[in-house]
Amino acid sequence: MARPRQDAPEASNERGNEGPEGRLPRRGSKPAPGLYLVATPIGNMGDITYRAVEVLAAADLVACEDSRVTGKLMTRLGLDRPLVPYHEHNAEQARPRLLARLKDGAVVALVSDAGTPLVSDPGYRLVRACVAEDIPVTALPGASAPLTALQLSGLPNDRFLFAGFLPNKAHARRQALRELAMVPATLVFFESPNRLGESLADMEAVLGNRPAAVARELTKLHEEVARDTLFALANRYADAPPKGEVVVVVGPPDADADVSPEDMDTRLLAEMAAGASVKDAAALIAAETGHPRREIYARALKLARAGQTAGQTE
């Protein structure tokens, strides 16, 4: 690694850490009133940022998902500030109280249990309310599990969609995947370790056998990234759910893949058997394959009529 020049000016080492006014914040200085969206580590405590510690140390209160989790973080940082629970179950009751404090000029830090707030949590409603009330809001970037998994996956990252958690039930999960099947981007999901094998199998059934990656325990001691096809990963985790937090990254659809008529019929029949109408099944497969919708609709209609005829003769 290149060593810095001995005569390099000290100021050059501070570029990129400058605040809005072009200087580093002074330790112990009070931030301006407003809402601060503070990213926290997803595993490795070394990933906490200088700005995050500064704001957490000076905040009038810290709004958090779980006060026990955030309490441990604050203890490790040597900080002691009031913690206020703010999560999906109490957001409607807690939000007015937080807004009242903000209107009174308080410095409020919003954190999630780990990573960047507003990713799979109700924080965006608080931000929206602050914007409506003309209350200052700023974000302190930092660790993010979806972005870290995307970086490590080895899959295209020029265009991606974070889809959060899929539904627990298989039917609803497959329906959600059908809605995503036509998206020309890499897909990023959170998933429970206990449901991982089932979810990967559903992804393969609905999205096709795309390249994918399963990232777990990111930035922690036992970090692991498994890269393979959805079929292979589904088999790997079918009877051996992993430990720790999991992020699944799935490659985009192959726009150049040639779909045989037989494969197209199989996919149409599968969609209709799952409850899709002829029109919806045709639209989905047309989006996936790039084939003309009118042509695929004709095939789907023919298959549906053949199925009805077979049912009448049995």
What's the predicted TM-score (pTM) here?
0.75
Nearest Cα neighbor of 109 from 66, 156, 57, 144 is 57
Domain range annotation of the chain = 28-143, 146-250, 261-308
Tens of pLDDT, residue by residue over 17-29, are 444 433 334 445 7
Sign of the dihedral through C-alpha 67, 71, 74, 78: positive
The per-residue pLDDT for 42 is 96
Nearest Cα neighbor of 296 from 269, 264, 272, 249 is 264
Could you tell me the end-to-end alpha-carbon distance of the chain, in angstroms, rounded to an integer? Answer: 74
Lowest mean pLDDT among 79-83, 174-178, 270-274: 270-274
Per the CB < 8 A criterion, the answer to whether 77 and 53 are in contact is: yes
Measured CA angle at 36 (ends 32, 38), to 5 deg = 135
In the predicted structure, residue 10 carries a pLDDT above the cut 50:
no
Sign of the dihedral through C-alpha 47, 49, 52, 56: positive
The CATH architecture that domain 28-143 belongs to is 3-Layer(aba) Sandwich (3.40)
Helix (H, G, I), strand (E, B) or coil at 217: coil
Q: Please report, rounded to a whole number, the percentage of residues in the chain having pLDDT higher than 90.
A: 65
The per-residue pLDDT for 21 is 39
Higher-confidence position of 29 and 206: 206
The per-residue pLDDT for 218 is 97
Q: What is the CATH class of 146-250?
A: alpha beta
Lowest mean pLDDT among 94-98, 102-106, 174-178: 174-178
Tens of pLDDT, residue by residue over 37-78, are 999 999 999 999 999 999 999 999 999 999 999 999 999 999
Nearest Cα neighbor of 283 from 275, 291, 243 is 291
Nearest Cα neighbor of 30 from 107, 111, 137 is 107
- The span from the CA of 249 to the CA of 288, in Å, is 18
* DSSP H/E element including 200: helix 196-207
In the predicted structure, residue 270 carries a pLDDT above the cut 50:
yes
91-116 in b/e form (b: 16+ CB < 10 A) is beebbeebbebbeeeebbbbbbbbbb
Nearest Cα neighbor of 123 from 98, 102, 148, 141 is 98
